[in-house]
Chain A
């Protein structure tokens, strides 16, 4: 059963097309990833699905409600964890959650119990009485994920859930997300520009670039579709024309002194390949990952701009001096 149906949704800002005629169907209970570089249109798409932005054209139906005709119903049935911190840091974690519970009409008698339950899930219960400004970035993100769950939404949107977090916290958050989908049967839609995150967490992935979906499948199928393993050769005078003639070589991309090949069953054919290739300085052979899929579908690599993002968040916090 589809829990979100998106039809030709488009968002324009003047001449810029941020999301370009995207159509998608997301199934109940799946973890669905929108993978793409910064500025690809992932966040814009989430903003339209959560009714914070009006589509220029096209429609989306979320939990059976139309985003334009029944926006309040859509908002009541979803949970949202934004990319940037969206809690009030002069309030405690508990106060932020209570505020959220009131706004979502969680029955008053259950509010405290539910707050404890969601905080326990992200292991933040012991910090609930502390001001959010005393939290680390990871703690704040965990608290905000807990907040997104408080009203028991059927769909949870996570916009770059682990951006700017250290690897340990990142893995922790992955565990929470997996547990939510498995144990609570929640549908989770997350955006990310981390290949690893998409590969590890998502049942299905849509690769999005320049506002368009360029590939959509399970991580396994996406990599299988490349048709073989990745072999990267480095050397001065590689015999590229001879390599191209080999029947098991599917694709050849050259840059400088590096040749990147898609090779059917590399383990079996590597020897022969090296015999033909000429003077090879180094060779790397591996199974393809999503990075290769992205490179294949867009001709570019996803650049990870973690540093920039973090820095922006810090300036933010400093600028805020009330």
Chain B
């Protein structure tokens, strides 16, 4: 394996994802405004009745960072189906690049998109009075990156198996919403009934939200190290499954 060739291939795919991303303004706008609407309207409304440690809107802010990552990362994967449809995927698969290289390039592209959007929300957070420090911002970014790696891989796995773009809706109902709603983004997970707690603990986003809440507002249910370890474990599994899925992907 020639490292320069692989690096160039990864760069090519990343370059394309980024170009497409910057040209599709509607995609950027919707994926920023949707979390923002939830944050402002839902957060503002429920905040008047909810009892959480501290300010409710501050409490749910990490959840909305995670939401942006969840949405962008998973839908990025679903766009693989568009590539199948417009036959662009054939053009990529017929190059000498290995399927694993293609997976990594697409994952990095998707991760970049998701992080750019999360960064915009991070900036917006300053206007809502989130008490940032240099360390808390860096640690939050770190959590967003490691959450993003796993979720982008999950998106690509779904994309590798889906044949038709109609499946997009299915992805949002069966992956995006459970991942978001179970993550404890909107409520503290400690007081949940046992059956719901099980699902919550099965959701990798839970740990990322918990860790970001820990570093941003000092509230958490689990040790930071546990959160990081679980999310990293989730990444390893999904990267492995993702490369496998790309290697067996048919046109």
* A interface residues, tally (CB under 8 Å): 33
Q: How far is the CA of A82 from the CA of B90 in the complex (A)?
A: 8
The stretch of B5-13, B50-58, B152-160 that contacts the partner chain: B5-13
B93 close to chain A: CB less than 8 A: yes
A72 close to chain B: CB less than 8 A: yes
A73 close to chain B: CB less than 8 A: yes
- The answer on a CB contact under 8 Å between A88 and B87 is no
- The answer on a CB contact under 8 Å between A103 and B12 is yes
Q: How far is the CA of A84 from the CA of B91 in the complex (A)?
A: 11
- The answer on a CB contact under 8 Å between A105 and B4 is yes
A58 close to chain B: CB less than 8 A: no
A24 close to chain B: CB less than 8 A: no
Chain B 180-215, CB-CB to A under 8 Å as 1, else 0, gives 000000000000000000000000000000000000
The stretch of A89-97, A211-219, A244-252 that contacts the partner chain: A89-97
- Select the residue from B9, B12, B15, B93 with max chain A CB neighbours within 10 A: B12
Find chain B residues with CB under 8 A from A102 CB. Answer: 8-9, 11-12, 15
- The answer on a CB contact under 8 Å between B12 and A320 is no
Find chain A residues with CB under 8 A from B15 CB. Answer: 98-99, 102
* B interface residues, tally (CB under 8 Å): 30
Q: How far is the CA of A212 from the CA of B32 in the complex (A)?
A: 55
Find chain B residues with CB under 8 A from A95 CB. Answer: 16, 19
B161 close to chain A: CB less than 8 A: no
Q: How far is the CA of A256 from the CA of B119 in the complex (A)?
A: 76
Residue ranges of A at the interface with B (Cβ–Cβ < 8 Å): 47, 50-53, 72-73, 75-76, 78, 80, 82, 84-91, 95, 98-100, 102-105, 147, 316, 319-320, 322
Q: How far is the CA of A320 from the CA of B85 in the complex (A)?
A: 9
Find chain A residues with CB under 8 A from B98 CB. Answer: 72
Closest 8 pairs (CB-CB, A-B):
A102-B12, A76-B96, A86-B87, A103-B95, A86-B91, A75-B96, A105-B5, A72-B96
Partner of A75, one of B5, B87, B94: B94
Q: How far is the CA of A102 from the CA of B95 in the complex (A)?
A: 10
- The answer on a CB contact under 8 Å between B23 and A90 is yes
- The answer on a CB contact under 8 Å between A100 and B91 is yes
